[in-house]
Amino acid sequence: MTDTPVSPAPAPAAKPAPAGPLVSAALDGPVGILTLNNGAKRNALSEELLDTFISALEGLQGHNVRAIIVRAAPGMGVWSAGHDIRELKHGAGDPLGYADPLERALRAIRACPAPVIAMIHGTVWGGALDLVLSCDMVVADETSSFAITPANLGLPYNTTGLLHFLGRLPLNLIKEMFFTATPVKAEDAARWGIINHLVPSAELETYTMGIAQGIATKAPLAVAVVKEQLRVLTDYQPVAAQVFERLQEMRRAVYASHDFQEGIDSFLEKRKPVFRGD
């Protein structure tokens, strides 16, 4: 197989170019491949990495790809460590607002007309799980596990993110994952529907590419319109204005709390948090 490099779409002029290849893009025929490359930071979802990811995703769409695979670089034991905690707003302002880089990346994946397949080798943490679940399919091997960890930080997860989970997983599993922050192992993830296919590590790349190449033989307009219909039907859940405002006020109380600051401080200081409930 010969991969042909693809140049990501140009980044906005106001932002500096990435210091290194945090995300690489390649073509294998009609299949695009996006690789998260920041092994030094365990593919933490920083603004720089996510901006590069969005540009690369848009660049692949410009090549009329029929399917896209998102993966970590070979050999990484952590697929992604999740949101870069050092970049989370704290003290004032919503840490997971509409303009947050992760939120923009999730919308880009969900709006991409080509099906996006997450290929998982290693552990997936925090906001990276939201990114994986925003992909259309997930193929993983026995090394994979999945954890959503805002309770470790005192972070009030946003309503949009919770809707992403509700669109994919049973309510009791969502509650267990959010309340305990315990990783779900590969076999359980397959049983609960977090992943579509659990395959041996040695077969992961071949199996995932086989699915992508199979999709690429189908009618792209039909596939794209079904994906968009499903996105609209699952994304736009009606919530009364007063209910939404109440939820936002509850979230504000949490991200302005001592506990959220303690969660951030303890992470940066590499110690266990002491949450007081205020």
Catalytic residue among 82, 126, 157, 161: 157
112 and 69 Cβ atoms separated by less than 8 Å: no
Q: How many CA atoms lie within 13 A of 166 on its CB side?
A: 11
Q: Clarify whether 90 is annotated catalytic.
A: no
Catalytic residue among 83, 161, 164, 263: 83
Backbone φ/ψ region at 157: left (φ over 0), alpha (ψ -120 to 50), beta:
beta
207 is annotated as an active-site residue: no
Catalytic residue flag (residue 255): no
Given the residues 32, 122, 127, 154, select the one marked as catalytic: 127
Q: Cα separation of 211 and 24, whole Å?
A: 21
Q: Which residues contact 223 (CB under 8 A, 6 or more apart)?
A: 66, 114, 115, 215
Distance CA 121, CA 141 (A): 6
Does residue 52 contact residue 60 with C-beta atoms inside 8 Å?
no
And the tokens for 184? 């779900």
Task: Write out the catalytic residue numbers.
Answer: 83, 127, 157
